[in-house]
Structure 1
Amino acid sequence: MSTNWNIPTTTDQKHSLQQDLRNRSNSRICTQILWKTLGFDIPVVETMEEVSALGDKGLPSYLKDPATGLTQFGPALLWDDHTNYLAELKTEFLKAQSEEEDADLRAQNRLKSVTDMLKTPEIDWLVQDKIHRSGLFQIFGASYTGKTLLILDLTMSWCAGLPEWQGYKLNNDGKPQDAVYVAAEGGAALSVHVDAWLKYHKDVDPSRLNGLLFLDGGEGHHMFLGIGKEQPDPEDGFMRLAREINEAEINPSLVVFDTQIDLAPGIDENSNTDMVGVLREVKRLGDSLGFMAIVVHHTGHDGNKARGASGMMGKCDVQAKLTSIGERSGKAKLEWTKVKGRAQPEDTISYKISGYKELDWLDSEGAVCVPLSKLEQAYAVQEATRPTDELQRNIMNAINIGKTSSRAIAEEIGINKDSPKLREALVWMQEANLITKTGSGPKTAYSLSAMSVSPSEY
């Protein structure tokens, strides 16, 4: 019997399931959550005699430790057997889950006809045409591109029931939603950005965000997957988080894991086995429990791909890359590198990371992602690719003395003809109307524009 966020049952089904749980009282890792879901108020007791008396009736209990005041789920649990108990429960749960999945597979005929295929529903979107309702979304980018800020903006916009996020439609019907943000670092560095978002969105009543909960790594709280060489303590595993979510009585449609590397200590980022294993498990959780799992990751050395193993993209339903627009500009751009079920989108999100220095009315130490207008985007990109004055002057001098091909220009100024730096400079100077281009391929030639000044004056 597998764990779920919510178990919809009729009254008769609940009574039947309660009786079944009494008969299977040793399946404790499941029943603790299920007893609560079914409305049974698990009593807190202080003696083993009380635990045994309830256990004889097939009923659970919490045993209170007089030394620490902590409670532990029973029945018939001895405090000295705590470690063995957890190991036993994990083995029992995995076996039961495997048996259930095997039984389901044996019972179902998996083959579908063309007619059945046509009955398959349309893709359900969280962010229209960009992020699915459930599955796995990996966002990666270099430091200072605002990865956490942008995903926090998405999460809070979604939970507040806002109609849009950075110009994209949110399919939340304008109603508040539930989400969990697992912040490995967390602490004040994240709290100030939550504060800034609320002060930037003055029209949002904070009560609309009651369904958004954080697991704050800044306070020493973590969530690790049982993948990799270092197996986590069960108290830091996903089962505990699932239990806490049920106890909080929320049904998250979005769960953020910030960052990806913090999900499984000790794994090899360059190993496809390790990294694909992590993403496979995160995706399985999202698909089976009905939420979109977002993992925040870093870029590799070239700044163009996600850091680590090459096979990660294949496990993602959605993947997007963040890049800076210019150096130290505070501006960045999000590009969609994969959206399953759609052609790779060509549109992008561009924004500026803005705090009180940019928004003097924002009384907060945090920052927000402010969308750039189309004009601002064009100007930002133009400025980011602007060649240095020295390079522009050298190119114009080369053209002025008759070096009109890109090869001749490159040889004259001492740069590789295939250098992106030279290619970008030539394009930028054309757009700035400093030079003009005629022909194509081997016949391409450049000349000084009538609008440009002479090289000696430049």
Structure 2
Amino acid sequence: MDNVRHMTRDTADPHGPEQYDAERYVLGGCMHNPRDIDTVRGIITRGDFALPAHELIWDVIVQLHGDGQPISPLTIRLDLERRKELQRAGGLAYINQLGDYSLDAEYHARIVRRDADLRAEADLGRRIVQQATSPDAEPGRAVTFIDDYLKRQQERSAGRSGDPADALLAELLDAASLDNMPTLEPLVGDLLHLDSLARIIGPSGHMKSFVTIDIAGHVGTGMRWHGHYVRQGTVVYLVAEGARGIRKRVRAWEKHYGLKMDNVLFLPRPVQAMGPEWDTLIEAMRRLQPQMVIIDTQARVSVGVEENSNTEVGVVIERIEELRRATGACVLVIHHTGHVGEHGRGASSAKGALQSELHVSKKGEDARNTIVTVKVGKQKDDEQSGDLQFGLKVVTLDGEAKPDGRPVTSVVLESLDVRPAEEVKGTPEWLVGVLHKAQVPVGWGSPRVIKWCAEYGIQMRKDKIEEAVRIRKRKDSFDEAQDARIALPPNLPRDLESELPHDQGGSSREPEETRRSNLPPTPGGAPGDVPPRPPSPRPASKAGGGTEGDRGTGDADGPPCTICDRPINPDWAARGYDTHIGCDPATGSHPDHPTHPHDDAPHDAA
């Protein structure tokens, strides 16, 4: 040991394990000399401890001292076991180790207080810098942070006096002081906020992780998230589930957007919230100060916790809250829903602690017709926004192939609300094109179109289908809409007339000859002959036998009209017509040269 160079307290690493020694000496000193507890309580409060485990141990020491119970590693361990918090406090070995720290508790309590004040000032500086550099920064708003800091210092001083009543009175605010409280700072639009606990829930396999990766990439790079404001910052993604697939999803995102997913850090393993390593995670995040911490999933960081117990889940949520308080970040937890309903699986107490909750669901099995919906399930202090819908775009990864030679692919989200509507499947404009291409009658109302979409696997919201029906009815003509160059869904039959039920406008599957033979005979004709069309009220046109220069003169090259004997336009005749559109079979007159019944001379215009 002689060759070991001992470092003084001043030159030691401020982020090394030495920084917690003062806290250990406070706890160990109070174990050996309980008479010092009241003196130490006048110097520090539980919030002055940097490690959450030390806060727990201090609470037990104060409780035992107030009850007149002996204070020792054994009694502390028993009380922590009763509270089911022994592991959070570091375990039995750590409690016994604190017994070796038996120096002056009062002296080290002043060091703990000094370090706590420095951390508070550092946090104040960080918040001022963040505010000053944010896109919506305004002069003078930093004063709010300073006032809040001074208020907290007064509260801490009152708490250190040793009188709990003084500490509580110092925390009371009048109505005017509420304006000095910090407000929520947006991270992603009105959906996610800094210094808050949020959760994304949804059934297994419903694209929760894809939505989360997409949000993380936009926060890290500072891009707007599908039209929503984003505050750029560091993101830490705790990949406690599905770590092997994360690389492929990130590479697909980078290729789609053409840039690296900067400022996003991944930890590809779980850290148990009830284990001692969680305190290490909290300290690491305290140093890094990310804007966002993602925990994917809640179940994988709370192994062994009774998921249906509000008590045990409440402890897990408190551990996650400790992470939030240490960083001021948005802590986003991914969780599964139960087998029934849209609520998070397990105990319901977790939802009460959330600032925001987003529900993610999908419809469709193939990437080409899948729609992912993000619904705001809870927004504690803001108005809940409308649903967000996304399609999936398949991305082929460059230079990668499966063992059988097929390309490696993944998918990314594409907003159905932000992109041009006519390009995106699932929009009303897209459905209009599909309906026209499939020759669905324009006169169909919303119920029949909704039923038709369900039969052919087109999954859309009811309001979007209704909007598509309204758009179709506003069209000038069915022929114009049929020219839309929009592809049919891949599972939609090409021969819609033969596939649709007969009562929905489809074919009865009878041969043409059979259907015509069932028609009643026309006077003077054979069974099956088509009855003549009734006279059209429309005026004659060039296509119907007239010309622009002389609407009463037909085309000499066309066959004669069977009513007025004037020539018909050859193109019109080629379509199977043997009369002009407006010829009246009762009078035998051409529409431009009307003849009164029983009169061979044209009528005068008067």
Q: TM-score range by the shorter chain?
A: 0.5 to 0.7
Name the residue aligned to 2:319. 281
SS in 1 for 2:171: coil
Is the contact made by 1:134 and 1:287 (CA closer than 8 Å) also made in structure 2? yes
Amino acid at match of 2:207: G
Residue among 77, 80, 94 paired with 1:86: 94
Secondary structure of 2:358's counterpart equals: strand
Distance in 2 (alpha carbons) for counterparts of 1:254 and 1:352: 25
Conservation of the 8 A alpha-carbon contact between 2:428 and 2:467 = no
Q: Which amino acid aligns with 1:369?
A: L
- In the other structure, the counterpart of 1:214 is 266
Counterpart of 1:124 in structure 2 is: 185
Is 1:138 matched up with 2:186? Answer: no
For residues 19 and 194 of structure 2, the distance between their equivalents in structure 1, rounded to whole angstroms, comes to 33
**Which of 339, 342, 353 in structure 2 is aligned with 1:301?**
339
Separation in 2, partners of 1:223, 1:19: 24
User: Are residues 129 and 364 of structure 1, via their aligned partners in 2, closer, same or farther at CA, if it must alter by over 3 Å?
Assistant: same
CA contact (8 A) 2:252 2:395 kept: no
Where structure 2 has 5 or more consecutive residues not aligned to the other structure, the ranges are 1-9, 29-46, 52-89, 102-108, 117-155, 402-406, 435-439, 448-460, 471-499, 507-606
CA distance in 2, matches of 1:156, 1:85: 41
- Which residue in the other structure is 1:412 paired with? none
Aligned residues between the structures: 321
Give 1:130 deviation, angstroms. Answer: 1.7
Residue 251 of structure 2 corresponds to: 195
In structure 2, C-alpha distance between the alignment counterparts of 1:187 and 1:453, rounded to whole Å: 48
Greater C-alpha radius of gyration: 2
Partner SS state of residue 168, structure 1:
coil
Pick 1 or 2: higher relative contact order, CA cutoff 8 A, min separation 6.
1
Q: Which residue of 2 aligns with 1:151?
A: 212
Deviation at 1:170, TM superposition (A): 0.4
Name the CA distance, whole Å, in 2 between partners of 1:299 and 1:320.
Answer: 12
Q: Secondary structure at the match of 1:313?
A: helix
1:23 Cα offset (Å): 6.1
Q: 1:85 to 1:151 in 2, by over 3 A?
A: same
Do the aligned partners of 2:391 and 2:425 also contact (CA within 8 Å) in 1? no
Could you tell me how far 1:454 is from its partner in structure 2? 6.6
The answer on whether the counterparts of 2:189 and 2:228 sit within 8 Å (CA) in structure 1 is: yes
Residues 112, 194 of structure 1: CA spacing in aligned structure 2 closer, same or farther, 3 A cutoff? same
1:254 positional shift:
0.9
- Alpha-carbon distance between aligned partners in 2 of 1:303 and 1:382, rounded to the nearest angstrom: 31
SS at match of 1:113: coil
Matched, 1:356 2:395: yes
| 1:433-452 alpha-carbon deviations (Å, 9 max, x no partner) | 8xxxxxxxxxxxxxxxxxx9
Structure 2 contact 324–330 (Cα < 8 Å) conserved: yes
Query: Is the aligned partner of 1:343 residue 2:378?
Result: no
1:191-218 deviations in Å (ceiling 9; x for gaps): 11122222222144x6x43xx322212x
User: Distance in 2 between the 1:167 and 1:215 partners?
Assistant: 29
Cα distance between partner residues in 2 of 1:345 and 1:322: 14
Equivalent position of 2:410 in the other structure = 366
Distance 1:223 1:20 in 2: 23
Aligned residue for 1:165? 225
Answer whether contact 1:267 1:275 (CA < 8 A) is retained: yes
Q: Shift of the alpha carbon at 1:310? A: 2.8
Which of the pair is proportionally richer in strand?
Answer: 1
Work out whether residues 313 and 350 of structure 2, in 8 Å CA contact, stay in contact via their aligned partners in 1: yes
Contact 1:255/1:291 (CA < 8 Å) preserved in 2?
A: yes
Query: Quick one: distance in 2 between partners of 1:457 and 1:297?
Result: 46
Instruction: Report the CA distance between 1:353 and its aligned residue.
Output: 3.1
Distance 2:290 2:346 in 1: 29
Cα distance, 1:335 vs structure 2: 0.6
**Would you say 1:455 and 2:495 are equivalent positions?**
no
Kindly report the root-mean-square deviation, in angstroms, between the aligned alpha carbons of the 2 structures: 5.0
What is the TM-score of this pair, normalised by structure 1?
0.57
Structure 2 distance, partners of 1:92, 1:167, is 58
Question: Match of 1:182, SS?
Answer: strand
- Residues 325 and 381 in structure 1, CA contact (< 8 A), matched pair in contact too: no
Deviations 1:13-58 (A, max 9, x none): x99xx99977666479999x99xxxxxxxxxxxxxxxxxxxxxxxx
- Partner of residue 171, structure 2: 110
Question: Counterpart of 1:216 in structure 2: which amino acid?
Answer: P
